[in-house]
Amino acid sequence: MPLAEELSRVYARMSGLLLSEETVQTALELVTSLALETIGGAVGAGVTLIDADRRRESAGATSELVARADALQYELDEGPCLTAWADNVVVHIDDLQSDERWPRWRAAALPLGVRSSLSAPLQAQGRMLGAMKIYGGQPGAFDDRSVALLTRFAAQAAILLANISTLDRAERLSESLQTALRTRNVIALATGVLMERNRLTEEQAFLRLVEAAQAGRRELVDEATFVVQSTSLGHG
């Protein structure tokens, strides 16, 4: 199947994920499974999102081999994926047995069954997000076509992950703001209840609410909720 046709199928599935507003972790799982399906010779695929301090924010892997090979890179602070991310280059290992660029990672990865790999940087919206990688169990598993395919695949995946990550953070922020708003409202309502019930000023009512929360060893919002609920039930 021509490369363009393969990628069009991949992009269609990835666009569907974006439109359904899935989470970052779900996106990572889909991206890794698509990479494994699409690129011949791969025995496993993975995607890692990395922060500015070289720490993993999120990760997706199609197998335990990939998860362990990736984890070793961050434990040892060296490896092809970190190089792809740091230098913004595609890193091709044709045979790990003879490749000495990352000696500590090489010594740890070979017993896992890793013999070849491709790692491509994930860059979108002017940010380096992390790296996508595929592993082969035999030397010479990947050719120039594999490099071209992973490069184009990673470019599209980076856009998807950047958009979903932004959406995910926005949703979490929205939830936090909604919680803060609900907290403020219930405290204001409880203060009003105490003002009406005990003929207090707003400041006096709020201080009484704080004192009651401290005496009962409860959070202020919990005490406010109790006051409001007791009023609605006709108590007090």
SS (H, E, C) 42-89: CCEEEEEEECCCCCEEEEEECCHHHHHHHHHHHHHCCCHHHHHHHHCC
> Which residue, of 126, 151, 171, is where some domain finishes?
171
135 plus 197 within the same structural domain: no
Percentage of residues of the chain with pLDDT beyond 70: 77
What whole-number distance in Å separates Cα of residue 164 and Cα of residue 92?
28
44 strand-pairing partners:
135
- Residue 220 structural domain: 175-232
Instruction: Give tens-digit pLDDT for 130-142.
Output: 999 999 999 999 9
62 plus 38 within the same structural domain: yes
Give me the number of domains the chain comprises: 2
Are the beta carbons of 35 and 153 closer than 8 angstroms? yes
226 plus 138 within the same structural domain: no
Residue 208 token pair: 């009484």
* Segments of the chain assigned E as strands: 44-50, 56-61, 91-93, 116-124, 127-136
For residues 102-121, give the mean pLDDT: 96
Instruction: Give tens-digit pLDDT for 143-194.
Output: 999 998 899 888 878 877 776 655 555 455 455 556 666 777 888 888 888 9
Identify which of 200, 210, 179 has the alpha carbon closest to the alpha carbon of residue 227.
210
112 plus 221 within the same structural domain: no
**pLDDT at residue 19, rounded to an integer:** 45
CATH number (domain holding residue 67): 3.30.450.40
**pLDDT at residue 21, rounded to an integer:** 44
User: Helix crossing, 144-198 with 202-215: angle to 10°?
Assistant: 110
Reply yes or no on whether the pLDDT at 62 is more than 80.
Answer: yes
* Segments of 62-192 assigned E as strands: 91-93, 116-124, 127-136
